[in-house]
Structure 1
Amino acid sequence: MSWKAIDALDDARDATASLLLPFDAERWARLAFIAFFVGGFGSGGGGGAGNTGTSVPSGTGDVPVDSLPEFVTPENVFIATVGLLAVIVLLVLGFFFVGSVMQFVLVDGVVSKDIRIRKPFRERLGLGLRVFVFKAGLVLAVVLVLTLPVLALLFGGTPVGGLVLVVIPLIFLAIPVLLLLSAVLQLTTDFVVPTMIAEDRYVLSSVRRVLSVFRSELAEFGLYVVVRLFLGFAASIAVGIAALLLLFVAAIPFVIVGGGLAIAFSAAGVPLFSLAGGVVFGIIGVLFLLTTFAVSALVQMPVVTFFRYYSLFLLGSVDESLDLVSSFRTDDDSPAPEGPTPA
């Protein structure tokens, strides 16, 4: 018995090679930019706040109120904290919204092999917004289901012992629920998005359409989930190792420049933690952070491209009306035809 979920792997590999080779710097750069939003790669930078040299009484560990600037009040600190959290939330939501639109941009690109960003982004903005709202609604619903019982008991004055009895079962319930949510979000990206493109449907209509295909080919999609899970795990490890190695190499010039500047500052008698030092080393830090993003996106780009082709080939093989990659299929298993080069 031939499994379409297995056969699609070879088709995806050939299509990925056909798109990425021969090497085209502009095409790779555009795909890497899309992959940064689509692949879910985030680079986190952490660092402890250094001591500025302000003396703190050793007895109580409290900073005297008189030593604080007048504008540092509990109210202002609260407002600043809320404002910072609001900015972070808006940035995160903006990132995921752009990522939802980029899912359509990626499908358009790998299908046409003409990788563009601005034009398809404008054209797919509405569909991306609908997918973003749909996914956000699913996440919000799950969060409410898991947290509302705790919040109800908390505001109802339930003692700590009673809360523990509720929280522990919820933790065990949250694990499978969150895994199921992750799978649903991934399947939405893999199959609902191309269905919206193939048949010009909106989200809920595409979900119903995909569910009907799932029911008719349950074994194929079950195998797809298993294969994608294991390949995704292996690819994550490989991408992580490759990214770390490249970042190690990329960090060398930053270390050399930073070390040279530190020596120059010391020779000039300028403290490293002065305003000038903060600006200079802050710029170096930002440049390295951008380099980290770029390297991560570039390394994961072939993986993102492969998995997008994988889902497209499987979807097209189980339902011809949803086949966006029919032009890639060849009876003699010859390489997929070359598409137009990017303008």
Structure 2
Amino acid sequence: MGWHAVDAVDDAVEATRRFLFPFNAVRWAKLALLVLLMGGGANAGVSVPTSPDARIGGVSGVAGELGTGTRTDAATLGNALSDLFAGASGDWLIVAAAVAAVVVVIGLSVASLSLRLVFYDALRTNEVRLWRPFLGRLRQAVGLFAASVALSAVATVPIALAVLAAVAAETPTGWGPIDSFAATAGSLPIGLAIAAGLVGSALVLLATLALRLTFEFVVPAMVLEDRGVIAGWRRVRQAIAGEWAELGAYLAVHFFVGVGIAVVSGTAFVIAGSAVVAVAGSALLLAAVPLGGLGALASTTAGIAAVAVVVTVAVATLVAVTLPVSVVTRSYLIAYEVATLGGIDPGLTLLHPDLDPDSTGADRDSTGADRDSTGADRDSTGPDRD
């Protein structure tokens, strides 16, 4: 049998070359923006700040004043009520700020996932457009966010419970439910504890695999057929049913592809980072001379401002220098994933015919120049339409 996961390694190289070249500055700028902002997952771990409940203290104060006797005057009661509402107001401000922070995080996560869908849409159409696809994919991004949060929770809850039980068993927290849970977990028979550990490990592995397949296989199906995440999962399940050996090969090859990409990206980051650090260090040395020495960089307002400016410019420069490498590596990795899916089920081929090396619909002239679906030569110099 043919291993589509292996064949896709070379197919993705060709697809990436056709997608990124001939070089177009506008196209690359849009892709760089997508790579910089698009998300691969969702993080729902938002900590809500807690504080002593001022309302409880206020109510206790009122009760105490009223319980001292019948001689409580109106002024005392008014002061107590004023303290109560002042405390409640401060508490509600904290709650409102926490809710606003959660809403902002969720909104940014959904927007980031929508941009990820836009990247897949660019592979589907061979046109890098931003605004309209972004708005059109927001509904799918909301479903993808909800699914990723749910799967992430399933994958992390068993680990969190195990860590919590181990920590609380060593050092009681003083909170009844947690200490009781730790005591119950610690008193389980060895066999039952092992069984619970195996079940938890299996749950973590299955949820992690489901999360990976959601982003690597379900997302292309969602973009290609304009489906929601649940309908996309049904479509992918039909595609991979009975293809477990192919799926195993894909996971293995994907691991080595990921290692290779990490090596390339890490090498580029180290080289660029070393150069940026050297230049930034030289700039700080030059800035320290008129200020009176290196110590002035941390002890004077002008020195702190100089450090802030140099660090900001250095970080921005490092991002700008390494971003083209990220565009190439991210494009290749996603092209590999969608090429494998298209090999497993040709009905889920996401790559545009001009990008797909296996496509018979790509019309190429005798010089090898790409043509679009109407037969016209593809404009390699004009900007992509938005």
* Residue pairs, 1:103-252, within 5 angstroms: 103-148=116-161, 150=164, 155-156=176-177, 157-158=179-180, 178=204, 180-252=206-278
Alpha-carbon displacement from aligned partner over 1:194-248 (angstroms, at most 9, x marks no partner): 1112222111111111112111432222211111011102211221111111121
Q: Which amino acid aligns with 1:239?
A: S
Q: 2:23 aligned with 1:2, yes or no?
A: no
295 and 322 in structure 1: CA distance in 2 versus 1, 3 angstrom threshold: same
84 and 235 in structure 1: CA distance in 2 versus 1, 3 angstrom threshold: farther
Secondary structure of 2:129's aligned partner: coil
19 and 185 in structure 1: CA distance in 2 versus 1, 3 angstrom threshold: same
1:342 corresponding residue in structure 2: 383
Q: Which amino acid aligns with 2:320?
A: A
Residue 8 of structure 1 contacts residue 310 of structure 1 at CA under 8 Å; is this kept in 2? yes
284 and 199 in structure 1: CA distance in 2 versus 1, 3 angstrom threshold: same
Residue 14 of structure 1 contacts residue 336 of structure 1 at CA under 8 Å; is this kept in 2? no
2:110 corresponding residue in structure 1: 97
Q: Which structure has the larger Rg over C-alpha atoms?
A: 2
Distance 1:216 1:192 in 2: 17
Please report how far the alpha carbon of residue 331 of structure 1 lies from its aligned counterpart in structure 2 after TM superposition: 5.3
Q: Which amino acid aligns with 1:244?
A: V
2:56 corresponding residue in structure 1: none
Distance 1:24 1:262 in 2: 42
Please report how far the alpha carbon of residue 87 of structure 1 lies from its aligned counterpart in structure 2 after TM superposition: 9.0
The range that moved more, 208-217 or 278-287, is 278-287
Distance 2:320 2:99 in 1: 26
259 and 238 in structure 1: CA distance in 2 versus 1, 3 angstrom threshold: same
Unaligned runs of 5+ in 1: 42-80
Please report how far the alpha carbon of residue 305 of structure 1 lies from its aligned counterpart in structure 2 after TM superposition: 0.6
Please report how far the alpha carbon of residue 143 of structure 1 lies from its aligned counterpart in structure 2 after TM superposition: 3.0
1:310 corresponding residue in structure 2: 336
The range that moved more, 231-240 or 139-148, is 139-148
After TM superposition, the score normalised by the length of structure 1 is 0.73
Residue 144 of structure 2 contacts residue 229 of structure 2 at CA under 8 Å; is this kept in 1? yes
Please report how far the alpha carbon of residue 287 of structure 1 lies from its aligned counterpart in structure 2 after TM superposition: 2.4
Q: Which amino acid aligns with 2:319?
A: F
110 and 280 in structure 1: CA distance in 2 versus 1, 3 angstrom threshold: same
Report percent identity of matched pairs: 26
Q: How many residues are aligned here?
A: 306
Distance 1:186 1:33 in 2: 23
After TM superposition, the score normalised by the length of structure 2 is 0.66
Residue 124 of structure 2 contacts residue 352 of structure 2 at CA under 8 Å; is this kept in 1? no
Unaligned runs of 5+ in 2: 42-93, 170-174, 372-377
2:17 corresponding residue in structure 1: 17
Distance 1:293 1:87 in 2: 29
Pick the aligned partner of 1:319 from 308, 332, 345.
345
1:61 corresponding residue in structure 2: none
The range that moved more, 216-225 or 172-181, is 172-181
Which has the higher relative contact order, 1 or 2, with Cα contacts under 8 A spaced 6 or more apart?
1
Pick the aligned partner of 1:272 from 289, 298, 301.
298
After superposition, the CA RMSD in angstroms is 4.0
